[in-house]
Amino acid sequence: MVYPDDLVNFHKTWDKQLTDVFDRITDHNQPLKVLLKDDLWHKIERIVFGKETMDSILKNYYNVEK
């Protein structure tokens, strides 16, 4: 079951899971890469090569009660 506040409650765990495997993203074919703007893919590459840190998935949380 998914709850509206799951990102708030689990973002640290999920961030860790993502950072553990994110460096493999450029090792595999990315068929949907054509849908990304070049600057986003370059950001992904900078993260993979340790030149930038990945944003927390908490950044995707939208609080409708604000």
Predicted confidence (pLDDT) per residue in 22-40, tens digit: 999 999 999 999 999 999 9
Confidence (pLDDT) at 66: 63
Tokens describing residue 1: 């079951």
Arithmetic mean of pLDDT over the chain: 94
Cβ count within 10 A of residue 41: 15
CA gap 63, 24 in Å, rounded: 32
